[in-house]
Structure 1
């Protein structure tokens, strides 16, 4: 039996050359006509503007990876201590890389089907190592830097374990380059009272008993209760933003625009309702402003209380928001095919293929090429808008004192004779006002009301564990 099997193998080997897929020898001319793909690829290039030779060794392969790193600290001490003080270029705790999430929950945080996140793997296409060599002669040649990276990464990178107000893990220090894609979001404003402080005084024109007068609100009067500004849902658009620098602990996003069409300043008019973005049921019943002006008649009528009539509103308020967010509060970074690298260099280097603005600084540097989609951003707590109210007061005054081409007031509050006489007995004057502050809070004219938000807890940043067995980190 053994002899028959051995004979069969010898016969098969001797006849293998008869098949078209058998290996045959080729001369140089024949080899030059054959196309193929090597597993390892070496690229050399020279950048004359930097005086640097780049030598890149890449692997034509798709790698799958699921990894947890308890602490990633690079560049601690070193060259950047002199300018930035003690610390690390990159300091990240509880870092996880897995497959990309399959969906999101109602808050926008990532979710995974099947066996969960720990059963998934990130896809890394064409990983590489690259060296930057300065100088051409053997005597002067030196390594200016090197980097590890990949042309394409698909997966979910999470940083930290808990979405809390003051996390002690996640990104503590970041040195590198990262783009956050344009996205939408919303916040809930905290109810406030307008017109009860000196920096919220407003002015305007009134006409009573045939007299035109400039009135000024008086927050010092005991009867001045101010005007209720209700809690509202405010939508905004965050523009694409580049986060880059050395040993950053926070990201600053400016130029966030939010246009509020109508803020009610009194109860809704009969047959109508308050805007749908008003939260709760505001109580305007006790609102009033105390105003002063020149006497209307024989030294009388120098002051009056004013109440907003039903249906009054502040319209077309434009906000210019700056968002300053601790990087430790950004936990979920989905990588949807972006290239990325981690490098170390002793001088500024623009690595081949990187964005024009991505200039790697001395020390360790982490970079992601394509914009990262953070998803819909919604804050969990109410935003205090008291800082905006003095700016709103200035816009209201500009609207109520605006004049026509002939120099006469454009917006005059008419007070009939009964209301004028009633004001002498401290009876409030009630008028419906719809104050359009759009022209006076314009983005084009850089007069939009400015608001800065600091370290807001975001609903979509809850972290999904990359562990089996219910552990937060493993």
Structure 2
């Protein structure tokens, strides 16, 4: 059988060649033939003019192929010392891993792999190396001023660091480059606080005393009788994060600004049946925490014989159903890059470059001008997933602003606090006056939202999946 196959194959080849009529081609004719090569070398039609009015041309050697890669790098340090400063590195990333994308994500947004992550591979499409050459038209002055390694598409999960903890010492310690973060959403719990016990949390308003007219009052934050008003913990406060960019030399943190947070209601006392039915925040609320709340208020002297005119101070408690409504906040979120561990690359191109002068590489965003030294860039926005904060954030910095908004609200004609004879008698015998107030701060915080800055919050979706076999953290 084997003896028959070889003659038959030779016969088929000869017959095919005879039928198609092979013929030789000249160099000119060959130049007109299009084909596909594994390697291709080309000069980009784009050129860049430097700040010194010199023209830079770009020459690319590309590999027309798909490559698979799974790798762990214990420490990636590039550009340490040098032109960008003696201290630090342009890029300093510890415990860097690249693998395939996860099979799914858990309820918190963390990557889940059906099998070991180490058994997956990232897919890199059309990798290339590119050179930036200045004064290309003159051989005597021609100079390579930069090169970059890149790929048209990268599909995989990039992780940094080994644990999702506060202020980690590994992960991204320094980043020089350009990385866009896509729009996303998030949520957080706010920590409980006491309002009204600091000088900058003083509030003011107007008392409408029966038969004796209107009289101003101010709270007395430093008086021992002031125990404060409880601001309870709020759960699952949602917010939208607009897209932002991390760019520049030796960056150590990312900053997201103009995160608008709207809180419809903040309970200031036990809720009514209607509150419990209409507002989720009242579900499971510990109502006993309001029991000892009160403010001491100073009353402007009044003229007359009314009971309240015989006292200059009174204790005040929030009545059942009291609440603060429509608080709008503008939040700035500063996060150490070392606390960002999961960076999914879902087809984005990217490159790693070294240049001796600022360059805008072909195909890069207009704002992506690679600075002198090492530079890492990703073409498309990175989807970090929902930014859900693990702990309860401290909002005490907002309280002074809330105090001013409460004063604005209580100063409105329809917000005068009515005081009847019974209330006046309570003041005389040193018993707290109880009033139910619904303080709407929306008219002021809509145009001028309260501002809050959050720093370095642990995010629930940044747990790191090991890229090793056998349960090792890093290998």
Instruction: Give the alignment's TM-score, normalised by structure 1.
Output: 0.92
Q: Which whole-Å CA distance do the structure 1 matches of 2:163 and 2:145 have between them?
A: 39
Q: Which whole-Å CA distance do the structure 2 matches of 1:245 and 1:459 have between them?
A: 27
1:352, CA displacement in angstroms?
Answer: 0.9
Equivalence for 1:43: 42
Which range moved further: 4-13 or 207-216?
Answer: 4-13
Aligned in 2, Cα 1:384/1:2: closer, same or farther, shift over 3 Å?
A: closer
Structure 2, unmatched stretches of 5+, are none
1:155–1:336 CA contact under 8 A, matched in 2: yes
Deviations 1:123-180 (A, max 9, x none): 1111111111111312222111111001111100000111111212111111101011
Aligned in 2, Cα 1:6/1:221: closer, same or farther, shift over 3 Å?
A: closer
Equivalent residue of 2:346, what SS?
A: strand
2:48–2:359 CA contact under 8 A, matched in 1: no
Structure 1, unmatched stretches of 5+, are 403-408
Equivalent residue of 1:460, what SS?
A: coil
Equivalence for 1:77: 81
Equivalence for 2:226: 224
Aligned in 2, Cα 1:337/1:3: closer, same or farther, shift over 3 Å?
A: closer
Aligned in 2, Cα 1:134/1:277: closer, same or farther, shift over 3 Å?
A: farther
Equivalent residue of 2:402, what SS?
A: helix
* Pair 1:259 & 2:269 matched: no
* Aligned partner of 2:300 among 294, 300, 325: 294
1:54, CA displacement in angstroms?
Answer: 1.0
Deviations 1:33-71 (A, max 9, x none): 754333223332342533211112211111111111111
Deviations 1:395-422 (A, max 9, x none): 11111124xxxxxx34211111221232
Equivalence for 1:176: 177
1:441, CA displacement in angstroms?
Answer: 1.3
| Pairing of 1:158-237 with structure 2 (within 5 A) | 158-209=159-210, 210-233=212-235, 234-237=237-240
Deviations 1:9-37 (A, max 9, x none): 543443232566x9654567876775433
Deviations 1:334-372 (A, max 9, x none): 001111000000111111110111110000000011111
| Pairing of 1:396-435 with structure 2 (within 5 A) | 396-402=406-412, 409-435=413-439
* Pair 1:329 & 2:339 matched: yes
Structure (1 or 2) with the greater helix fraction: 2
Runs of 4+ more than 4 Å apart: 1-10, 22-35
Q: Which whole-Å CA distance do the structure 2 matches of 1:367 and 1:340 have between them?
A: 5
Equivalence for 1:58: 62
Equivalence for 1:371: 381
Aligned in 2, Cα 1:277/1:63: closer, same or farther, shift over 3 Å?
A: farther
1:226, CA displacement in angstroms?
Answer: 0.9
Q: Which whole-Å CA distance do the structure 2 matches of 1:347 and 1:335 have between them?
A: 28
Equivalence for 1:394: 404
Q: Which whole-Å CA distance do the structure 2 matches of 1:341 and 1:160 have between them?
A: 21
1:305–1:429 CA contact under 8 A, matched in 2: yes
* Pair 1:467 & 2:471 matched: no
Q: How big is the alpha-carbon RMSD for the aligned residues of Structure 1 and Structure 2?
A: 2.1
Instruction: Give the alignment's TM-score, normalised by structure 2.
Output: 0.92
* Pair 1:304 & 2:314 matched: yes
Aligned length in residues: 460
Which range moved further: 450-459 or 332-341?
Answer: 450-459
